[in-house]
Amino acid sequence: MQYYIWTLGCQMNTADSQRLASELERLGYQAAQHEDDADIFVVNTCVVRQSAEDKAFGRLNLLKLEKQQNPDKVIGVMGCLVGVRDAVELRKKLPFVDVFMSPSEPQPMVNFLLDRMDESDVLALESAARLRRDALQDGEIILPAHEQGNLVSAHVPIVYGCSHACTFCIIPFRRGVERSRSVGEIVAHIRSLAQQGVKEVTLLGQIVDRYGKDVPDGPDLSDLLRVVHDVAEETGVERIRFLTSHPNWMHEKLLETVAELPRVMPHIEVPVQAGNDEVLSRMRRGYTADQYRKLVAKIRTIIPDVAIHTDIIVGFPGETEAQFMDTYNLLAELKVDKVHLARYSPRPQTVSERRMIDDVPEEEKQRRLAMLEDLQAVVVAEINQKFLGQVLPVLVEEYHKGKWRGRTPQNKLVFFESEQDWRGKMVDVEITWTGPWSMQGRLPQAHQQFEPLIVLAG
């Protein structure tokens, strides 16, 4: 019996899919190499943008036809389309779906599959589960078989949900209020990943630097990073990252911790969303463009080699051409390393959907987005050009289209050629070409001369 999980959206969904895969393999299922071979098909959904929701329903419509042809095929829907309030409504809309799972909650699928098993099979699984629970601490994870020894970088949720409620954001309605995981659970999760070959962990939260705010006198993200750094040193985890931050919660203590700890990468994701104060106020972001400008300056002062990533929404309700140009000019001034761009789309239950008019035409949203894409191509090409001729430490992730690919501490993508097996290893790479989205390099002569060669299959 085989399963296939089709994942849309953010890194949190990726982590949720990994957890579900682990639970399915505990029940004896194997990952299907091709989706057509799957006995269980799960769509892990995202609804942050209308386009992502449309993709989910498009795939589900295809699965409806497959279900008609093969009634025994198990169809599951997971993630933000289900959320914390919509299961009843979705059952009416998607009657062919067997299992609905809220974000980060694989148990409904496990229960459904157990109910279909013979009693003897269930007893055997329960016995195995008891042994597994005895062997694992709370928070530990056994990776799916195809990822064990192959997964270099993994995501570790540290705080679920969000309590901030920007006017455009549906996340609080789908993932619920903030719930921080305990330090012990997070540490156990990371240790188990390290034992299975993972070399980089990214700590996740919708607002990751609000970690611990829901726990009276609890640790904050800075405290957690110090604990995780000690664990990384003990277990061989080379790199630690975290995302996504919020300008209101990015304090000096956290920045100084990043600067101090060598395994915490100089890579900060802190969305601005817009460069105009009126738009930011309507978004209920809680800061001004000038405050964001000063935050970027502070980050660069404390962490001089930092790469800063941000998010922008174009075409928010009421956004004029002049207000959009404030955003354009802010990005042109700040020259950040990456911008995640999105066109505004109204999401159910949000303040902007209920109280504001989506009055920026779609073609105008697309024009504004294209302007920012063109600007960023120039900005990032200029930033990356500075790395030309430098030797950079690269953590190699995989072999891709005849080249090894990995990332620098600043999360820059680097490709290089070698017949050796570099997966999961740190290697110095001399940068020989730079572009806006990736860089090419070569290994220093010492690596090429003295390391044994390995012939790569496939």
The tens-digit pLDDT sequence of the chain (458 residues) is 899 999 999 999 999 999 999 999 988 899 999 999 999 999 999 999 999 999 999 999 999 999 999 999 999 999 999 976 566 778 889 999 999 999 999 999 999 998 888 776 666 566 555 544 444 567 899 999 999 989 999 999 999 999 988 999 999 988 999 999 999 999 999 999 999 999 999 999 999 999 999 999 989 999 999 999 999 999 999 999 999 999 999 999 999 999 999 999 999 999 999 999 999 999 999 999 999 999 999 999 999 999 999 999 999 999 999 999 999 999 999 999 999 999 999 999 899 999 999 999 999 999 999 999 999 999 999 999 999 999 999 999 999 999 999 999 999 999 999 999 999 999 999 999 999 999 999 998 755 544 443 434 33
What is the widest separation between alpha-carbon atoms in the chain?
A: 69
Determine the CATH number of domain 266-385.
3.30.750.200
Q: Where are the domains of the chain?
A: 2-135, 140-247, 266-385, 391-450
391: amino acid identity, one letter: V
pLDDT of residue 83: 76
Fold for domain 140-247? Answer: Transcription Regulator spoIIAA (3.30.750)
3-state secondary structure 95-130: CCCCEEECCCCCHHHHHHHHHCCCHHHHHHHHHHHH
What are the residues facing 2 on neighbouring strands?
30
| CA gap 174, 431 in Å, rounded | 43
pLDDT of residue 122: 63
| CA gap 245, 268 in Å, rounded | 8
Long-range contacts formed by 246-249: CB under 8 A, 24+ apart: 246/164, 246/207, 246/209, 246/210, 246/270, 246/271, 247/271, 247/272, 247/285, 247/286, 247/287, 247/291, 247/292, 247/295, 248/286, 248/287, 249/207, 249/209, 249/210
| CA gap 273, 279 in Å, rounded | 9
| CA gap 291, 314 in Å, rounded | 20
CATH superfamily name and code, 391-450: Nucleic acid-binding proteins (2.40.50.140)
pLDDT of residue 445: 73
- Strand extents, DSSP E, 150-199: 153-160, 179-180
Domains 2-135 and 266-385 share a fold: no
- Only one residue has tokens 């390393």, namely 337
The model's pTM: 0.91
Determine the CATH number of domain 2-135.
3.40.50.12160
Instruction: Please give the DSSP secondary-structure letter assigned to residue 388.
Output: T
pLDDT of residue 138: 77
Provide DSSP, 190-225.
HHHHHHTT--EEEEEETTGGGTTTTSTT---HHHHH
Q: How far is Cα of residue 40 from the mean position of the Cα atoms in its chain?
A: 24
Is residue 32 within 8 Å of residue 11, measured between CB atoms? Answer: no
